[in-house]
Amino acid sequence: MAVLELFDRFPNEESARRWFEGIRWPDGVVCPRCDSAERVSEVKSGKPMPWRCYACKKHFSVKVGTVMESSRLPLRTWVVGIYLMTTSPKGVSSMKLHRDLGITQKAAWFMAQRIRKGWMNGQRHSGELEVDES
């Protein structure tokens, strides 16, 4: 996927949220705290925790229980950061993420560390994958 295609596919935060939700919950939303799927509903409040589990009475988002948890960065920024880190054959420095994403160097460093942690923990990746032989 080219960078322009990435921006076309994710024009706003809502599209990024729906994409992450589709990857995380392909069979429907499940509460990350109690694993309930029957008593979960979307709350139309505009708050950062758009889902509510009526079994355990907790609000949650697609970030809960992932490397993105407790991050204030928008999901769209995470999409671009993950794209940059996975498509660069020689890796990406936190300074490059800082410049390309328009975030602080500290936030870029934490993002890179969390993405690497996700790779080490064997978190599932899906979708298109391109491998470079270099």
Q: CA angle 20-22-23, nearest 5°?
A: 65
- Coil, strand, or helix at residue 3? helix
Residue 134: pLDDT over 50:
no
Question: Which residue has tokens 């032989």?
Answer: 133
53: DSSP letter = E
How many whole angstroms separate alpha carbon 62 and alpha carbon 133?
33
pLDDT in tens, 61-100: 999 999 999 999 999 999 999 999 999 888 899 999 999 9
Q: What is the pTM of this model?
A: 0.82
Predicted confidence band of residue 133 (pLDDT cuts 50, 70, 90): very low
Q: How many CA atoms lie within 13 A of 68 on its CB side?
A: 22
